[in-house]
Structure 1
Amino acid sequence: MTIANSSESPTRLEGKYSAMVVCWVLGLGSLVSWNSMLTIGDYYYNLFPKYHPARVLTLVYQPFAVGTMVILAYNESRIDTRKRNLAGYTLFFLSTLALLVLDLATSGKGGIGNYIGICVIVAAFGVADAHVQGGMVGDLFFMCPEFIQSFLAGLAASGALTSALRLMTKAAFGKSSNGLRKGTMLFLAISTSFEFLCIFLYALIFPKLPIVKFYRSKAASEGSKTVLADLAAAGIQTEDSQGAEDDDKQQQQQQRLSTKQLLIQNIDYALDLFLIYVLTLSIFPGFLYENTGSHQLGSWYELVLIAMYNVWDLISRYIPLIEIVKLKSRKGLLVATLCRFLLVPAFYFTAKYGDQGWMIMLTSFLGLTNGYLTVCVQTEAPKGYKGPEQNALGNLLVLFLLGGIFSGVALDWLWLIGSGKKF
């Protein structure tokens, strides 16, 4: 296989900051549709008050995300990353548009039929998430750490952006006739536009940036097949040759660590991500919507809690850029992750005895630790591996992350025990 420009140094290539911006937008597009669903939870609670939308929709989302991710992670070395990511962003675009069309077609009415329709669309979100998040993380794992940090910050930015928009639309439309629905329609229209932008950026802009071409060429020279379509889209020709070059390629493939070996070597990182999101999703968003009671903020209370989580989750994903405060120790990361479980009794007693100020502070800390630890783990884990192994490891870690989210969503239902609310 011959690949152009593979000998250049990434420090001499242009496009690093452009690539970071694109990664940020692609991260935002990976979750903006789903975060829109979470942020307009008050609208769905108004339509379907008896169906626990925050909990049910999240529980519908996760099996499809995890199930699809298992299949994709097992076959990652044979899957064209370009087709995978474009398929994911396209599915996000179509699903978000379908959500908007469904609400318009039914004139914003409730009922079990419409609820089932929303659940089907949410399942499509889960499939799209597995395609995009696993594909992008695997792709960025063999590039510089700043790219994966930017992508992860974009993921958090989607939550902060949707929360900010939700507060503004509630203020703008809150007192008007059918104001809640008008704000929701604006939300979904903006999300649909972002997803279309991501398709454009990934298909036409990202693969042509010099530094991206360098890293993908390097990964291809190390035996990665997942980047070939992206290299072709960037105008870099690859061709098979015979003899010693084929022998070198076979030797590289034989020397590559298996998925099992990668998992064993990085089991602590995988457990970190699993446990981080088990805790976070056992509290956010279901507990915040249904178990925090009524306070002086009234109907704004849940929106403020969601917004504070999202804002601090975003801020904390930039903290590891300061080397002196970045947690790099593998044991330290595991201890910090386990210590977060003290938040469970903290949330329980605050909801029972505390006022809204303490709950806002706790929710902010939940977001702060979630974002910080996520970035620390995912920027440290891929070091010391070749391109194909880094791609495989990225997919494995996303699988454990989604598994943690699924488990957390299931555990979130336990908060209903003794609360007086029906399951």
Structure 2
Amino acid sequence: MTALGGNGTPSKIEGRSMALFLCWVLGYGSLMSWNSMLTIGDYYMELFPTYHPARVLTLVYQPFAFTTVSILAYNEARIDTRKRNLFGYILFFIASFMVLVVNLATSGKGGIGPFVGICVLSACFGIADAFVQGGMVGDLSLMAPEMVQSFFAGLAASGALTSILRLITKAAYDKYKDGFRKGAILFFAITSFSELVCVLVYAFIFPKLSIVKYYRSKAASEGSKTVASDLAVAGITISSQDEEDPKRSERLSKKELIFQNIDYLISLYLIYVLTLSIFPGFLSEDSGTHSLGSWYVVVLIAMYNVWDLVGRYVPLIKGLMMESRKGLMISTLCRFLFIPAFYFTAKYGDQGWMLMLTSLLGLSNGYFTVCIMTAAPKGYKGPEQNALGNLLVVSLLGGLFSGVVLDWMWLIGKKW
């Protein structure tokens, strides 16, 4: 195991840059499948015009994600993190490939049958997200904060890069017959390959990095049982200790962790309640039509995703990281001003104002997410950091689920 310096940190750890890059790749794979489905929302709107696909697919996805992650978080101390994450990435790969199969098997036809099939696969994405996001955040929370930041930057990058790819495929295929479908096929072919890469990276490369082995060994020495399989793959054996060792048993309960971090959990919940009450449903169906025509929704989603990615890197700039817990709570409450802003802009404003608001929505979402996710787990032992990481993801996905439900309120008073 890597030698320790005087302050309890590794005096020299190899592989830090590679670890940050692989965290980014694994984060990218954690939302690549779902973002691909969201980004080709205009294709599904054409294929299933009466089923509100942008809202329904999200509504199907979120309850499965939230319920699964809640169950996993409750039992996190007894779950093997390696098996959990590998199952999630493999499920992402299989479900992404099946979206491609459904499209090819139905020859791109609409109807209730193919739509139900897509909804089932959306539910699979939700389950996979719960396994991976909760497992990875819990695992990385017992490591360095910058690894958590890199993972969340990868999450946002999946949205930004799929949006850019959607703009390219729309420009390339728009004038061709069946252009929407060709773009969708390309999307999920790339997605399936990306998910397969994540399976291989997590299984064979990530656990063998020196910095990863160090932090997992440290967590195991503090009583964590979730890292045993990954340490075994890395060729590290942790000496067994008496189960009654007080140093290993002095662990805060989940209830105590919740009370100590209730402001972080509420703030994270509120961030995603607000964001998902607007994105993607409102932007896809209720933001009006303007001179950009069929490009309008695609550009809006791209702007959100790009600025969400930018927001996740802003805290890395010295002096721009918000560490005040009160400041984070006040800021997340102030974000609810976006609701009247979007309503009146859609009703009276032009596309320039809508693009600006969407960019600010994405920027603030990414920024506050990283501020909370990197600050909350500090000061705890490995098992507690893993538990808190899981609880934070429960709060995040709970906010997503609530936001998706509230998004339907924009349809009140409108003809369905």
TM-score scaled to structure 1, two decimals?
0.96
Aligned twin of 2:93: 93
The superposition leaves residues 18-76 of structure 1 with CA deviations (integer Å, 9 ceiling, x where unpaired) of 00000000000000000000000001001100000000000000110011011100000
Q: Name 2:48's counterpart in structure 1.
A: 48
Tell me which residue corresponds to 1:364.
359
The Cα of 1:417 is off from its aligned counterpart by: 1.1
Find out whether 1:338 has 2:333 as its counterpart. Answer: yes
* TM-fit CA distance, 1:10: 2.6
Q: Match for residue 411 of structure 2? A: 416
- The answer for the alignment partner of 2:192 in structure 1 is 192
Query: Which residue pairs with 1:396 in the alignment?
Result: 391
Aligned residues: 413
Cα distance in 2 between the residues matched to 1:175 and 1:326: 45
Separation in 2, partners of 1:365, 1:74: 35
Q: Distance in 2 between the 1:410 and 1:368 partners?
A: 23
Structure 2 Cα separation of the partners of residues 252 and 108 of structure 1: 59
The 1:71/1:6 distance shift into structure 2, 3 A limit, reads farther
Gaps of 5+ in 1: none
Residue 308 (structure 1) aligned to one of 296, 303, 311: 303
Partner of 1:375: 370
Tell me the equivalent position of 2:116. Answer: 116
SS in 2 for 1:12: coil
Which residue of structure 2 aligns with residue 294 of structure 1?
289
Report the Cα distance in structure 2 between the residues aligned to 1:156 and 1:197, rounded to whole angstroms: 18
Q: Decide whether the 8 Å contact of 1:350 with 1:359 is kept in 2.
A: yes
Q: Partner of 2:315: helix, strand, or coil?
A: helix
Please tell me whether residue 268 in structure 1 is matched to residue 273 in structure 2.
Answer: no
The CA distance in 2 between the partners of 1:6 and 1:74, in whole Å, is 34
CA distance in 1, matches of 2:313, 2:276: 22
Q: Which digits, 9 at most, give the CA deviation of each residue in 1:95-141, with x for residues without a partner?
A: 00001001100101101011111111110100000000000000000
- In structure 1, what is the Cα distance between the partners aligned to 2:256 and 2:86? 30
Give the Cα separation in 1 of the matches to 2:338 and 2:182. 36
Aligned positions of 1:131-210 closer than 5 A: 131-210=131-210
Match of 1:79 in 2: 79
* Cα-to-partner distance string for 1:194-230 (whole Å, 9 max, x where unaligned): 1000001101111000011000000000000000100
1:232 aligns with 232
For residues 38 and 10 of structure 2, what CA distance do their matches in structure 1 show?
39
Q: Is the alpha carbon distance of 1:339 and 1:395 closer, same or farther for their aligned partners in structure 2, counting shifts above 3 Å?
A: same
Cα distance in 1, alignment partners of residues 398 and 354 from structure 2: 27
Change (3 A) 1:55 1:282: same
Identity %: 68
Cα distance, 1:239 vs structure 2: 4.2
- Whole-angstrom CA distance in 2 between matches of 1:298 and 1:262: 49
Secondary structure of the residue aligned to 1:10 is coil
Q: In structure 1, what residue type is equivalent to 2:242? A: D
Q: Which runs of 5+ in 2 are unaligned?
A: none
Give 3-state SS (helix, strand or coil) of 1:318's partner.
helix
Alpha-carbon deviations, 1:146-185, whole Å to 9, x = none? 1000000000000000000000000001101111100010
Q: Write the distance in 1 (CA, Å) between the matches of 2:104 and 2:246.
A: 57
Report the AA paired with residue 134 of structure 1: G
Q: Which one-letter code corresponds to 2:216 in the other structure?
A: R
Deviations 1:273-328 (A, max 9, x none): 10000000000000001101110000000000000000000011000001301100
Amino acid at match of 1:318: Y
Q: Which residue of 1 aligns with 2:381?
A: 386
1:309–1:266 CA distance, 2 compared to 1 (3 A): same
- Structure 2 residue 16 is matched with structure 1 residue 26: no
The secondary structure found in structure 2 opposite 1:317 is helix
DSSP-derived class of the 1:257 partner = coil
Verify the 8 A CA contact 1:96 1:192 in the aligned structure 2.
Answer: yes
Contact kept, 8 Å, 2:141 with 2:148, in 1: the verdict is yes
Cα RMSD between the aligned structures? 1.0
SS, match of residue 20 in structure 2: helix
C-alpha distance in 1 between matches for 2:287 and 2:97: 32
Amino acid at match of 1:64: F
CA contact (8 A) 2:3 2:12 kept: no
Q: Is residue 278 of structure 2 the alignment partner of residue 283 of structure 1?
A: yes
| Alpha-carbon distance between aligned partners in 1 of 2:248 and 2:73, rounded to the nearest angstrom | 18
Contact 1:6 1:217 survives alignment (8 Å): no
- Between the aligned partners of 2:3 and 2:33, the Cα distance in structure 1 is 37
Give the Cα–Cα distance (whole angstroms) in 2 for the partners of residues 372 and 202 of structure 1: 26
2:4–2:10 CA contact under 8 A, matched in 1: no
Q: Distance in 1 between matches of 2:358 and 2:81?
A: 36
**Contact 1:138-1:391 at 8 Å conserved across structures:** yes
Alpha carbons 1:173, 1:180 under 8 Å: kept: yes
Measured in 2, the distance between the counterparts of 1:174 and 1:10 equals 54
